[in-house]
Amino acid sequence: MNRYVGASILALAGMTIAGAVPTAQRPSVPGWPYGYFMPAAPGQAAPLCVDPRKPLSCARPAAPVPDDGIVRTLPETTRKFTRNQVFFDYGPGDWYPGDHPAMPEIVARGREQDTLRACSLCHYPNGKGKMENGHVAGLPEGYILQQLADFKSGRRRSADPRKANTNEMIAIAKLLTDEEAKAAASYFASMKWTPWVEVIESDTNPKVRETENGLFLPLDGGGTEPLGQRIIEMPKNPERTNVLRDPHSGFVAYVPKGSIAKGEALVTTGGGKTTQCAICHGDDLNGLGNVPGIVGRTTSYTARQLYDIKAGTRNGADTPLMTKVVARLNDADIIAITAYLASRNPQ
């Protein structure tokens, strides 16, 4: 029976996942990049994996959702799915099969007997994913394989212990065969990254609510609220993202006024606090060799990586140089850098 990724957040006092940073040593990171209004409180964490050999047991528990039988459609496709078909763990509905090459089995359907869900469920068939997921399209194959290895070894975790989908990704990486990992990495690397987020400088943002899986959605009553020193990112079309998993419907990020210009100065010159990003990521910031492109991706994802590296929970083979890059960055700097990078169109 189908299930959804999310359920209510469980605060488990004193409990951490295997390989996680103990609560007393955990650095504080802001909540917004991880889909929360506030930082994690002491002892607050995602539920423990029931069985680390079963990746789905690391996701937040959710009751099965009866299929309502309503057949749904999207623009520019003749394909039709019910909501449960769209969210089926082991073969989610593919709205636009003409957008991408033939999917490897692990991407299209996963491995149900081991509760290893299809890669395309969270990352979408086109590899773009949502703000709470990784954006894997257009990343170098070698880079993707290195990240899987770092998840597997415990060198890549989340600085926010509430992020259950990172725990599931760790379990998935441990279960993938070398052939499956290579097939998925080659598939996602074969597709070009295209714009996915609109950045708006503002003093306010639409009022949003937290969801179980780290996605901000607008309140039914509408209205705005002061943005403050944070970024609020949300789907451009909440129904198409949250209900239909539309891989053509992107995101909008509300950032403090002046962020883009400040971010440009930090990214292009270092601003006396950090290293120019182009040295490693290429003059156009679209990547260089096995170094990934960093423009046009969601602010949430980019900020999470900077905070995870700074906190030491992302400490893979490719991060020693980045550790020095982020060492002197404060929250305002990270907001500015991510705002600028997201505002840039990939080439």
3-state helix, strand, coil in the chain (%, to 5): 35, 10, 55
Report which of 170, 159, 179 is spatially closest to residue 104, judged by C-alpha positions. 179
Q: pLDDT band for position 4 (50/70/90)?
A: very low
| Cβ pair 45, 15 in contact under 8 A | yes
Confidence check: pLDDT of 23 > 50: no
Reported as a single tens digit per residue, the pLDDT across 272-310 is 999 999 999 999 999 999 999 999 999 999 999 999 999
CATH assignment of 197-343?
A: 1.10.760.10
Q: What is the mean pLDDT of residues 13-40?
A: 66
Distance of CA 194 to the CA centre of its chain: 16
Q: For residue 46, give the nearest of 36, 33, 59, 56 by alpha carbon.
A: 59
Residue ranges of alpha helices (H) inside the chain are 83-86, 105-108, 119-123, 141-153, 164-175, 178-189, 238, 259-269, 278-281, 299-311, 320-326, 331-343
Residue spans per domain, the chain: 197-343
Which residues, 6 or more positions from 156, have their beta carbon under 8 angstroms from its beta carbon?
147, 150, 170, 308, 313, 314, 315, 316
User: Average pLDDT of 239-257?
Assistant: 97
| Average pLDDT of the segment spanning 78-87 | 96
Whether 329 contacts 274, CB under 8 Å: yes
Share above pLDDT 70 across residues of the chain, in percent, rounded to a whole number: 92
Q: What pLDDT score was predicted for residue 43?
A: 92
d(CA 180, CA 183): 5
pLDDT of the residue at 122: 97
pLDDT of residue 6: 34
pLDDT at site 64: 84
> Lowest mean pLDDT: which of 98-107, 166-175, 237-246, 312-321?
312-321
What pLDDT, on a 0 to 100 scale, did the predictor assign at position 205?
A: 98
Band of pLDDT at residue 115, cut at 50, 70 and 90:
very high
AA letter at 7: A
pLDDT (tens digit per residue) in 268-277: 999 999 999 9
> Is the pLDDT reported for residue 89 higher than 80?
yes
Q: Is the pLDDT of residue 19 over 90?
A: no
Average pLDDT over residues 1-6: 36
